[in-house]
Chain A
Amino acid sequence: MTVSPELLLIPAVGYLASGALFARHLHSRREGSASLAAWVAVGVIAVHAVIAVARFASAPYAPFASMAESLSLYGLVCAALSLYLQRTYRAPALGCVILPVCGLAVVAAAMLSPERVAALPQLLRSPWFFIHIPLCLLGYVAMMLAFGVSMLYLLHDGLLRHKRLGILHRHLPPLNMLEHIARRLVAFGFPVLTAGLIAGVVWARSLPADYTGWHAKGSAALVTWLLYAAALHARNLAGWRGRKYSWLLTLGFASIVVGYVVVSLVNPGAHDFR
């Protein structure tokens, strides 16, 4: 049985809707409106997980063998972790930044997915596949969450600076807590991403032909890595905090989007090693 990729549009719309519910909560004085949004998000994640499992059951190798499948998995993990963060830090505002991005990732997954899950080229069937890709994906997830937190920081900082205090300001977590969450996410994501990239290089070198030369995806990944390395240094050595640090993390995430999605769309074969 094949599960049509169009079904992914259901969780995609669900993520956008629950993001909108979280945004509504930020302007609502009702205390219960955040839990409604959270429950909707939990439901959407469950539906997404069922669809994803059903799709992979038909052609199993790994649930991240193509760009589309990895985007879908990425959206799923991001949404689930953002809910976890929201609960842990009582920051429902995070949902209205992260969940719409998850929604867009899953829309892209639905558009790009072939009718049947494509088989993995023989060349890529290697244990390295299960090290390089999950590590990079996990690193990207952490960085996307850090991006969401940075957006909230910039918003809250702007409101406090311009003295526009009201319901929105009351729903946002304290500034130093936001900075603390972002810092921890980067502290976790950066080594994971580094390990993922190193695994990729080692894997490429172990292949029969030489694939270690420059190509767009590899270069974009290097730029991303350099940006996050710079952000870490700027914070720890030059004392870049608050807005500057948040802008750096935003820039880092933009470079992830370029390297992970845009490059693959413009130059689809670049990272296939065929």
Chain B
Amino acid sequence: MAPKLAMAGVNYKTAPVSVRERLALSNGMLESALSAFPSSPDAPEVLIVSTCNRTEVYAAPRSDCSAVPEPVQLLARPRDLRAEDLQPYLYQADDEAAVRHLFAVAAGVDSMILGEHEVLGQVRNAAEAARKAGTLGKVLDRLCNQAIATGRRVRTETGIGQGALSVASVAVELAESIFADLTRAKVLILGAGENSELVAARLVDCGVNSVLVGNRTFERAAQLAERFGGRAVHFDALDDELCHADIVIASTGAPHHVISCGQVQLAMRRRRQRPIFCIDLAVPRDIDPLVGSLENVFLYDIDDLEQVVAANTRERESELPQARRIIEEEAASFARWMHSLDTLSTVLALREKAERARDEEVRRALGRMRSLTRGEEKAIHDLSKALVSRLIGEAIEQLQSRACDEGTHGRVQALRELFALDEFDCDATRGQREEADDDSVA
């Protein structure tokens, strides 16, 4: 049986960046790529999800007998690529597997950084672009909404998106658990290395607006300070600056401790024991480890931070089974909805087919019996209607009342085959289309 929904795509696991970059579509390009697809009643529904790690196309036929679109072709089309060239990098899925895949993408389960939040916004943007371009129909519209809801549900009901996953973001998380308001915190950077710059940049992103930079060469300190809108300080003035700093980031290349326990003790006295958060990113360490034992001083070295990253990664991974359970639940609910659509169209087709057969047979019979009164003709019509209704009415009622039951899908398929409803549907649709064409010509 032909799929009702199909997807194809490439992602960071299947394709190198050289392939991904050729397929990637930015937000602005997404809409124009989608508007190139026809949005007529016969054209398939199309959704393109494109991020730096993946480009995926989802497609569904708009009616039961319109051609099932080939998502690989749709994927290749916006960039004028050949589908065969993409084949080695491609993954494809149909129906429930495709639904499950999009739900997993929206939940961040399929992301390079497990549980990342951006992807949910990207799925939302993809849906919005497709909606604007008119390529979303009944099926994909519901699919998008449910994918976004699933992404949200997974993030609120599991811890898959909790806990920082990089040294810089762990440092920020720690700073936020000591200082409620980072905008008031003063940061002192010692050593203008790449690591300290990364951490400082994240802190500034999170609201810190007072940055002091001390470095062996003053010029480099001034450069970095300028980048963060801060001030460069001389190493000699360290004791003075230490008593003003709430967060100290040290990553100098010095072979010995740059900050001693005595210095911090003195600073703590001068700052009236206000808490201080020291981040030592240097190897060998810049801050005397004894500093960590002082009251109201919180010292984390690079190993501590990396251990937190590792623990958070493990914690997120441990949430995977729970996340997958939610995705399964949501995919099953979507599949039930799809089946209920099938049931509805089957019921309509069955009724239509029975009605046509009845009408034909009654006409034929009436043609042979010419001397009937109007009343007798009506009686024959009523008889035929009653017969049809008794024969198929009960089956239809059963189907409708159990539209969402487990085994209904199988019964619907059997019914479609037994009564050859697939061919009937397409004939009927073709007939209607021809009638519509005739009307428009007339």
Contacts and interface: CB of A to CB of B under 8 A. Distances in A.
A71 B237 CA distance: 57
Nearest to B298: A160
Interface stretch (A46-54, A114-122, A163-171, A216-224): A163-171
A161 interface: yes
A209 to B, nearest CB: 49
A239 B273 contact: yes
B178 interface: yes
A239 B272 contact: yes
A31 interface: yes
Contacts of B307: 163
Given A170-B163, A176-B275, A241 B296 contact: yes
A175 to B, nearest CB: 5
B311 interface: yes
Interface string A31-64: 1100000000000000000000000000000000
A156 B176 CA distance: 12
Interface residues of B, number: 29
B405 interface: no
B179 A176 contact: yes
Contacts of A173: 180
Interface string A83-94: 000000000000
A166 B315 CA distance: 9
Contact of A29 (B158, B174, B180, B272): B158
Nearest to A89: B180
Given A29-B319, A242-B295, 5 more contacts: A156-B177, A163-B307, A167-B315, A174-B176, A175-B177
Interface of B: 156-159, 162-163, 173-174, 176-180, 269, 272-275, 292, 295-296, 298, 300, 304, 307-308, 311, 315, 319
29 contacts: A29-B158, A29-B162, A29-B319, A30-B156, A30-B157, A160-B174, A160-B177, A160-B178, A161-B292, A161-B298, A163-B300, A163-B304, A163-B307, A165-B174, A166-B163, A170-B173, A170-B177, A172-B177, A173-B180, A174-B176, A175-B177, A176-B178, A177-B180, A239-B269, A239-B273, A241-B295, A242-B273, A242-B275, A242-B295
Interface of A: 29-32, 156, 160-161, 163, 165-167, 169-170, 172-177, 180, 239-244
